[in-house]
Structure 1
Amino acid sequence: MRQQGRFAVTCAGALTVAVALGACGGSGDVDDGTAKITLWHGYTGAQTEAITALGKQWNAEHPDQAVTLVFDGGNDDVLQKTTAGFVAGNYPDVAYEYGSSVGPLSRQPRLADLTERSQDPAVDWDDFFPAVKDASTVNGKVVAVPALVDNLALVYNKDLFARAGIAEPTPDWTWQDFRQAAAALTDKEAGVYGWSYVNDGTEDTVWRYLAMLWQAGGELLTADNKKPAFNSAAGLAALNQLRDMAVTDRSVYLDTGNQNYSNLFADGKIGMLWTGPWDLSSFDKVHYGVVRLPGYNGNHESISGPDLYMMFNRSDRKTDTAWAFTTWLTSPKVHLEYAIQTGDLPLRTSETKLPEYRSTYLKKYPGAEEFTDNLDNVQHARPNIPEYSQVSQAVGEMVQSVLLGQAQPQEALDSATETVQSVLAGS
């Protein structure tokens, strides 16, 4: 769920990173008889530097399986660009995609089925955290290699808690504890809010609500993904909690999607965030703490938004290269090296047992261990169905309307349910 920017470089060298697809292009729809491949990505900053260095290392050691990296303009739009590439015939061999892209791309006949490959003992598929394995699977088939794992936890400003004279969050906090703390932290005259919620109606809005829904014992859809299930006591409890804090208490800063919440938190204007490890590097001047989310009835479930490397068939040789490169890139030692440079969480449990995890990674990224441990609280995966983006849009608009005080929770639930029913029915 990272915010992406633009990164401008030239198309020179054995490893290519392009500003846009047209600058260096995809592989085209023609198999040139080699095992060389093109990988599209939206990495910027430290991620670009890290994967570029590792790509050069791979190419030096595997000249017959060279990988060309192409910057696709940003991960936020890669699904649309990948889909357009199928029409134009310049789609990549591998694309870095958000987990929410899996559903739409699962219908693509060129998508590689990686199920048999994942059973290779050398890959140690079960070493990946369950959250990323679930995101990589559609109807029992493995369709991607995990690229990134994250989750939501509670990050809080220790100094603001001390100033307000209230105890810091604990792993056993309830939602009532959380609400009371947010109200106590809020100081309108000083421009301080207790909590912030991203309220632009996108997936950024939705996945925070889903964690609350699951904690309360609810589900987004029925087990067969045929009908909405969120219009329930659990769905209502979660929306009521949001309305009580945003509309009644006015203790919530509603971010419009411009990521201003991170700047405000860094400036001491927000007491608590539900955020992921990607924000920690922005808080180097904040005396912060990290703890798992508050919960309902002892359930502190979180949510993960894994990103994935998805492969598209041109030939067995190219798929062999794509599989070899991405599984090397996500192998324990290589990925931990990457994570030390970028701040990404480990993808595999074995990474946390390597000596560099504690000696280097955790020292460089305070609080990261809490996010890694919090992966145990990820029990659900968002449904990998083609209709998910439309379901998400309806739920996002539902949450947004409640946070803005434009609709009552039950009214919003009923409206969103009707929309999702139509979407799932193919209307």
Structure 2
Amino acid sequence: MAHGRGLSRRTVLMMGAALVMTAGCGTGSGSDGKVKVWHGYTDKEAAAFDKLAARWNTTHPGQQVELVFNGGNDNALQKTLASFASGNPPEVAYQYGSSITGLTGRPQTQDLTDLLRGDTAFDWDDLFPAGREAATVDGKIYGVPALVDNLSLVYNKKLFDEAKIAHPTESWTWEDFRSAARKLSGDGRFGWAYVNDGTEDTVWRFLALLWQAGGDLLSADGKKAAFASDAGTQAMQLLRDMAVTDKSVYLDAGDQQYLNLFNSGRIGMLWTGPWDLGSINEDVSYGVQILPGKVTHATIAGPDTFVVFGENGRANALPFLKWLLSAEIHLEFAMETGHLPIRQSEVDLSGYAEFEARYPGTKVFVDNLAKNVTKSRPNIPQYPKISQVLGTAVQSVLLGQAEPRAALDQARGEVDQALAGS
């Protein structure tokens, strides 16, 4: 886990897809008048967040914020829903990925569209598109981006050199990628790793492949599955060819052994994000490149969101969040934590070069946000079911238990039923 996030991105993705309410309790606004901001930050992130909140409080006596560690972000949705039931919700809660669809339509969750789109000083359109989309459901804005990241290709330079393979380039194709993975494999080594536990961590890499092949997850109107297409078949076939035929893929069971194996020189390439860079051993010389491509070099972002609740949240917590996401303040936070810029204008600030120097390899991820993050997972209530179905399909193909087209056809039927409300 990079940058002190305190949780694996696998946990982030799993909980972003889970919309199951569990019992719990929480602490919302108190009699002290401070607005509560729930988060799960630890280590460097928590220290940086605390420092910024303290600065805000010294200059805003009438809009004091209290940061509340809610025990970890992995069950933030469930705790938030439980706080609704108890009648004591916070004004703000950090939420993962598509969790926001479990909160919209509830009276506590605030529609902030008028307060954000109309604020020229805040400049909503300056936020990277992936972050804006994560906070928007049915055209309405319910929060602000808390984090934006994406997948890139991270590779071990020494293993490439020893195998006499040219390092990945921006023009790398699927064929180049598969060939390199095959050459890097054998004697206990694997060219690539794939998390194959059937969760959203299994799915989002497949979605990147699907988009690279020119495909889509759903039809344009969102009412039918669109992944059981030629593009989907090509994406699934690549996975089968590499895992079953070439045996060049380490299938991670979801326990993140892939990172230990990468550090020990037993895996040559990862599709991962900036959160893993801080966990790569110092003696491992690694490079970062955009994902290989077919029709495009599309990647996928995994944005998280601060969601706002209640009139007090609108009036007194949102101003803090706007300040937190100003270009200068967020770059300070990024410098302390390694989080990617959340605004396009951050990269133009004088201090940005220092950020890239401090966190080698992040430039590719930042460039991706503007160039290769062209599509996003849909913010719809059915997405967790879609993810579950696709996760099972991808898992079965990687294990050699199903053929690509058959797995996709079965998944299409189940997803169509879910979208139809069956």
TM-score, normalised by the number of residues in structure 1? 0.91
Is 1:293 the counterpart of 2:304? The answer is no
Within the candidate set 405, 411, 422, 2:417 is matched to 422
User: 1:311-345: per-residue Cα shift (whole Å, max 9, x none)?
Assistant: 111x2x43222111111111111111111111110
Aligned 8 A contact 1:106 1:386 in 2: no
- Give CA-to-partner distance per residue, 1:268-290, whole Å, 9 cap, x none: 11100100111111123321111
The alpha carbon displacement at 1:240 in A equals 0.4
Letter matched to residue 111 of structure 2: D
Q: Which residue of 2 aligns with 1:158?
A: 157
Q: Note closer, same or farther for the CA distance 1:33–1:222 as it changes in structure 2 (3 Å cut).
A: farther
For residue 369 of structure 1, the aligned residue among 359, 363, 368 is 363
Q: Kindly provide the CA deviation profile for residues 256-279 of structure 1, in whole angstroms up to 9, marking residues without a partner as x.
A: 111221221122111001001111
- When structure 1 is superposed on structure 2, of 345-354 and 43-52 the one drifting more is 43-52
Aligned-pair CA distance for 1:5 = 4.6
The offset of 1:33, in angstroms, is 9.5
Q: Which runs of 5+ in 2 are unaligned?
A: 9-23
Matches within 5 A, 1:74-223: 74-118=72-116, 119-187=118-186, 189=187, 191-223=188-220
| Paired letter, 1:93 | E
Q: Determine helix, strand or coil for the equivalent of 1:168.
A: coil
Q: How does 1:18-417 map to 2 (within 5 A)?
A: 25-27=26-28, 34=33, 36-118=34-116, 119-187=118-186, 189=187, 191-283=188-280, 284-297=282-295, 299-313=296-310, 315=311, 317-358=312-353, 360-375=354-369, 376-417=371-412
Question: Does the 8 A contact of 1:4 with 1:76 survive in 2?
Answer: no
Task: Give the paired residue count.
Answer: 402
- Are the equivalent residues in 2 in contact too, given 1:105–1:386 (CA < 8 A)? no
Aligned letter for 2:413?
E
Q: Counterpart of 1:419 in 2: which secondary structure?
A: helix
User: What is the aligned partner in structure 2 of residue 13 from structure 1?
Assistant: none
CA RMSD of aligned residues (A): 1.8
Name the amino acid aligned to 2:337.
Answer: T
SS of 2:62's equivalent? Answer: helix
Q: CA separation in 2, counterparts of 1:105 and 1:222?
A: 25
Q: Percent identity?
A: 55
Distance in 2 (CA, whole Å) between partners of 1:262 and 1:330 is 31
Amino acid of the structure 1 residue aligned with 2:167: E
Q: What is the one-letter code of the residue matched to 1:144?
A: G
Please give the secondary structure, in 2, of the residue aligned with 1:100.
helix
C-alpha separation in 2, matches of 1:261 and 1:224: 38
Query: What's the offset of the Cα at 1:4?
Result: 4.0
SS in 1 for 2:219: coil
Q: Is the 8 A contact 1:4 1:75 kept in 2?
A: no
Q: Is contact 1:150-1:305 (8 Å) kept?
A: yes
Q: What secondary structure, in the 3-state scheme, does the structure 2 residue paired with 1:112 have?
A: coil
* 1:135, distance to aligned residue in structure 2 (A): 1.5
Unaligned runs of 5+ in 1: 7-20
SS in 2 for 1:247: helix
CA distance in 1 between partners of 2:347 and 2:7 (Å): 30
Q: 1:346 to 1:5 in 2, by over 3 A?
A: closer
Mean Cα deviation higher: 233-242 or 41-50: 41-50
